[in-house]
Amino acid sequence: MQVISTIAELRTRLNGEHAVAFVPTMGNLHEGHLELMKLARKHGDCVVASIFVNPLQFGPNEDFDRYPRTLEADCASLQGLADIVFAPSVNGMYPERQTVFVEPPPIANELDGAARPGHFRGMATVVLKLLNIVQPQVALFGKKDYQQLHIIRQLVAQLNLPVLIVGGETVRAADGLALSSRNQYLSTAERNEATFLYQTLQSMRVAILQGERDFEQLQKQAVEHLAARNWSADYIEVRNQSDLQPPHSEQGYPVQQLVILAAARLGNTRLLDNVEVCLA
Ligand code: PAF
């Protein structure tokens, strides 16, 4: 496995590779990332992981400075899974002030985007840069960041990028908590409590499967249940999988493929999760 830090060196190394599968990350890798790497191997002969904490997608009061940077440990866990680790510096990615941005679709201002203005613009901009730098045939992203994956699919489709986007399933701890680099911000007591978010989404899923269609009421109850246990929910929303809009009839038929999306704060940690609900 080669660790490469400059764009020029990466381009030289990738010259002649025709089946590149790419997993962009911000490092601090956990089992969820490693599962994506294994999936990447099924999609390409040359597996590239990038590790770059992208300043453009963090708001002024967010955790850019304290975001865990663990390059050495990350490279150790990528041994045998990746062929190349691309770990550029901030200066390498942004040698001049970035004044050209991707304008993401309007959904970027809802859900996570409502709580994190500019986040998806910064994310989409760096993803486009990374795809242009690596020029993979396939790029893989986790479904845990469901809205991110949706926006990346739109970016690739609407800007005609020649890359196949593959979503990897969310990897969970034994108690159901979705793995995330931010879980390590949780205290022991918070970590024990954290699984309640997933349990809440699962209860909503069961209710919908059993016929509940008053989604607003379900959402309101979930927010209240979380609040009663000292959580503060940014949103808990039932949406269509296809466009992330509130469920509506499609050509007279009720939407069958739903997803429940949530972001909620426990202490100082903001956790994201989602579960899909397929009615047919
Ligand atoms: O999901 C992430 O880790 C980041 O948002 C990504 C896609 C690597 C862009 O910085």
Edge-to-edge strand list for the sheet holding 231-240: 231-240, 257-266, 269-278
Alpha-helical (H) ranges within the chain are 7-14, 31-43, 71-78, 90-93, 112-115, 119-134, 146-158, 188-209, 215-228
Q: Reply yes or no on whether the pLDDT at 269 is more than 80.
A: yes
Return d(Cα 137, Cα 158) in angstroms, integer: 17
Residue 86 reports pLDDT greater than 90: yes
Q: pTM for this structure?
A: 0.97
Three-state DSSP state, 165: strand
Question: How much is the average pLDDT of 229-244?
Answer: 97
Pocket lining: 200 vs ligand 1, CB cutoff 6 Å: no
Query: Which residues partner with 167 through β-bridges?
Result: 141
User: 248: pLDDT confidence band, cut at 50, 70 and 90?
Assistant: confident
Model confidence pLDDT, tens digit, residues 4-37 = 999 999 999 999 999 999 999 999 999 999 999 9
pLDDT for residue 255 is more than 80: no
Give the mean pLDDT of 256-267: 97
Structure tokens at 249: 């009839």
DSSP code, position 179: P
3-class DSSP state for residue 92?
helix
Residue 250: band (very low, low, confident or very high) from pLDDT cuts 50, 70, 90: low
Q: Distance from CA of residue 43 to its chain's centroid?
A: 19
Task: Please indicate whether residue 278 or residue 253 has the higher confidence score (pLDDT).
Answer: 278
Name which CATH class applies to 2-168: alpha beta
Do 2-168 and 181-278 come out as alike in CATH topology? no
pLDDT digits (tens, 9 = 90+) for 32-70: 999 999 999 999 999 999 999 999 999 999 999 999 999
Locate tokens 């840069």: which residue? Answer: 129
Helix axes 146-158, 119-134, angle to 10 degrees: 60
Which of 36, 148, 272 is the best mutation target for the ligand 1 pocket, counting ligand atoms within 8 Å of the beta carbon and taking the most?
Answer: 148
Residue 270 contacts by C-beta under 8 Å, 6 or more apart in sequence?
A: 115, 182, 234, 263, 264
Which atom of ligand 1 is closest in space to residue 26's alpha carbon?
Answer: 3
Confidence of residue 252 (pLDDT cuts 50, 70, 90): low
pLDDT of 274 strictly over 70: yes
Of the pLDDT bands very low, low, confident and very high (cuts 50, 70, 90), residue 280 is: confident
Q: Check if 18 is active-site.
A: no
CATH no. of 181-278: 3.30.1300.10
Give the Å distance between the CA of 124 and the centre of ligand 1.
9
Q: What average pLDDT does the structure give for the chain?
A: 96
Domain boundaries, the chain: 2-168, 181-278
In short, whether 24's Cβ falls inside 6 Å of ligand 1 is: yes
The per-residue pLDDT for 77 is 98
Checking if the pLDDT of 249 tops 70, the result is no
Query: Ligand 1: distance of its center to the CA of 142 in Å?
Result: 9
pLDDT digits (tens, 9 = 90+) for 150-183: 999 999 999 999 999 999 999 999 999 999 999 9
